[in-house]
Structure 1
Amino acid sequence: MPEVAESVIAAIIEEVPSYSAPFQGRMGRVIEQAVRTSLDSFLDAASGAREGEQTSIGVGVQAAEQLGRAEARAGRPVDALLSAYRVGARVSWREVSRMAVAQGAEAATLGRFAEVVFTYIDELSAASVAGHNAETHTAERARIVNLDRLVRSLLVGAPETRLVEAAQLARWTPARTLTVVLVAGERALNTAAMLDPRTLTLGEDLPPVRGLPAPDRVAALLVPDAGGRARGALLDLLSGRDAVVGPAVPWTEADRSYARAVRAAALPRESGTVLDTDAHLAQIVLAADPETLADLRESALAPFADLTEGSAERLAETLRAWLLLQGRRELVAEALHVHPQTVRYRMGQVRELLGDRLQDPDAVLELVLALSARPS
């Protein structure tokens, strides 16, 4: 058996290129031991076959299963191992049959012996495939769990050291930047399939954002390296879908992109459109603290409080256009679809109500903010 084992190992190294490197170091010793264990277990099986018994080959099968698991952990497909089994069976049969013939074994005995050899190899192959599949499934389940933990850690702004560790556990290679995209939960998988394969997905139970509730029935996609020129391509891919796209940020700061996307999700928009948060920064700022903004609106527009609702609305609309268009009456009239004289008349009323406040920069800023907000 020691001679046969050496011949098998030499043949595997020569004929199965995938095993040239693994036979070096610790893994090589594991494989060599597996070869010897398999041969010893085979002798027991062959002896049982000779005596007509059903001899257990559990030791060899267990070793084969563990070898299959080890291959999966090393990231190698099971094909190389099955090739090694075929080479081992051929070399073992050649060497052992040569010795048996030299000892005068009969042809019938050799035929039965060949049957035992290849039946045994089939059982080892099946055990290794089962071990490889089991380890692959276990590893994939663990990776899915670790990816989920990584995404949640990113969205809540965990410390960088924790994020790096989580990425390593999930076997996810960090991108330069991440862009958070919010989409309807039922469209998450289809949308992710169009994006960078490194895209991270969290399809349920999104975390809340600094006092804001978590979005309902919405999934978060964390898209790698979609900043700069790549942002346009991302927006084009998402066209026609209900989506909110946060800013591209360093990957360890993905919580900032998520927070902005969540805030922007509350802004009004048409169904089936993509909301690019980079293009709506002012609206997001205005919506960030609705209670304070309501107080500001009430304070800034207090002089309009005694007017009828219709009059107050018309004067506020005119004042907003006047401030944004820098007092150019013709442009204001065009924007409001009224005559320039109407603008002049309304602004006369506004000046009576506000007095010197229209000359105060701080007051003008408050008016612009208040008039930019929608009444609650």
Structure 2
Amino acid sequence: MTDPSGATSRRAAHLELDERVADRLRGQLPAVAERTVTAITAEVPDYSGALTGQMREKIENAVRIALGTFLQLIERADAADPSTPLSRALEAAYALGSGEARSGRSMDALLAAYRVGARVAWREVSATTVRDGLSAERVAEFAELMFAYIDELSAASVAGHTDELASAGRVHRRYLERLVQNLLAGEPEEVLRRSAERAEWPPPQTLTVAVLPRSNLRGVLAMLSPHTLESGEDLPGVELAEESAVLLVPDVHGGRRRRLTGAVQGHRAVVGPARPWTRVAESYQRVLRALALGLDQPADGAPLDTEQHLARLVLSTDPEALADLRAQVLQPLSALPPATARRLAETLRSWLLHQGRRDDVAGDLFVHPQTVRYRMGQLRELYGERLNDPATVLELTLALAFLPAE
């Protein structure tokens, strides 16, 4: 806030005001305050219609106090601490700026009000001082002091407005951060709705999680909805090469998903499914599983879209169950040398995926069709009629869909 021992107090120390003139000015304060508020209402659009009833009374009282403090400042020019009344006025001006910020108004309106108020107040005050015989030099000093006083009040209000916005911004960011934490944690719907209300965040139909390196974040956010939420917290249980950000993007479901994938193109992003906004934790968990699996990023710079890896994600949900299933259905190969068993398993997988088309299997494995025929003969000896059983075929397909690396 402006230093209360500043220019106004120093100038006041060099200006003496006749007690008779001071009494007359003090008697005019109510009328001057009323005319000042009337002028502000007429000339500053943001206050047109706003300064009525109790609000008008409060503002008129504030103007009276400000002008009274100004006169008191001059009358106390020889006091040991002339800044004392100014301190109170500056505190009031600071509070006024804070209140304007809380009301959602910019400082432009308040500064315009100060200018109008200074002009009206000086017109009334100068008429009185001239009529009471103050010299032109003294009137000029009086004017200089009054406008310096208004400048200090304006500066105090700007400081109050700025501090209030900064404080409100910090509080709002904290509410948004808490909302993101609650969403990703999968809190109950009533908790999420209260959290969204506190954060003044309008709930969308859906949210979609995207994870990307934080270094790429600014350009991506510029292409997305302003209501996109962000979390900078480390992803639990996932080791990434660089610091990453989690985005919760509203309403990019269905055909609008291209808007998101286009925004993160080339940014090594992983994108989860769209979910109703209260269930976005499901999208987050899907992304975490994709990251944990270490799926390769597409070579063309497109994001890793979890919607294109659903089978892999389903089969990775219970790795131990998948390992047990694989051991169970491949038990007929267990007595073979490991290299032979693996070749037969690869052949069986391709045979299942290509629905027994020998030439397609041969092309997939880069072998001759006769080799495929020979291997399938071995497999039929080992499995017998089980290869014609739908339940066995299902189990083999699941177990062999993604063979582990050697």
Q: Same fold (TM over 0.5)?
A: yes
Aligned-partner Cα distance in 1 for 2:70–2:317: 73
Letter in 2 for 1:269: D
Letter in 2 for 1:236: G
Letter in 1 for 2:154: S
Deviation, 1:179, is 0.8
Task: Using the aligned pairs only, state the percent identity.
Answer: 52
State the partner residue of 1:321: 350
Aligned-partner Cα distance in 2 for 1:204–1:356: 54
State the partner residue of 2:45: 17
Letter in 1 for 2:46: S
CA gap 1:310/1:214 in 2 versus in 1, 3 angstroms: closer
Work out which of the residue numbers 288, 307, 310 in structure 1 matches 2:336.
Answer: 307
Work out which of the residue numbers 239, 264, 268 in structure 2 matches 1:242.
Answer: 268
State the partner residue of 1:340: 369
Aligned-partner Cα distance in 1 for 2:184–2:281: 4
| Paired residues for 1:90-109 under 5 Å | 90-109=119-138
State the partner residue of 2:192: 163
State the partner residue of 1:5: 33
Deviation, 1:41, is 1.4
Aligned-partner Cα distance in 2 for 1:155–1:126: 43
Q: Where does structure 1 lack aligned partners over 5 or more consecutive residues?
A: none
Query: Quick check: 1:363 aligned with 2:392?
Result: yes
Deviation, 1:257, is 0.7
State the partner residue of 1:118: 147
Letter in 1 for 2:226: P
Q: State the Cα deviation string for residues 119-154 of structure 1 (Å, max 9, x = none).
A: 110010010011111111111111121111111111
Letter in 1 for 2:48: S
Contact 1:182 1:221 in 2 (8 A): yes
CA gap 1:315/1:25 in 2 versus in 1, 3 angstroms: farther
| Paired residues for 1:1-376 under 5 Å | 1-24=29-52, 27-49=55-77, 54-56=82-84, 57-206=86-235, 208=236, 213=237, 216=240, 217-267=243-293, 268-270=295-297, 274-375=303-404
Bigger mean CA offset, 59-68 vs 319-328: 319-328
Q: Normalized against structure 1, the TM-score is what?
A: 0.92
Aligned-partner Cα distance in 2 for 1:288–1:21: 63
Deviation, 1:363, is 1.3
Aligned-partner Cα distance in 1 for 2:54–2:234: 44
Deviation, 1:23, is 1.7
Deviation, 1:286, is 0.9
Q: Normalized against structure 2, the TM-score is what?
A: 0.85
State the partner residue of 2:12: none
Q: State the Cα deviation string for residues 95-127 of structure 1 (Å, max 9, x = none).
A: 122233333333233222211210110010010
Root-mean-square deviation over aligned CA pairs: 2.2
State the partner residue of 2:22: none
Letter in 1 for 2:346: E
CA gap 1:107/1:50 in 2 versus in 1, 3 angstroms: farther
Aligned-partner Cα distance in 2 for 1:22–1:230: 43
Letter in 2 for 1:107: A
CA gap 1:139/1:27 in 2 versus in 1, 3 angstroms: farther
Letter in 1 for 2:51: F
CA gap 1:259/1:43 in 2 versus in 1, 3 angstroms: same
Aligned-partner Cα distance in 1 for 2:153–2:192: 41
Number of residue pairs the alignment of both structures matches: 371
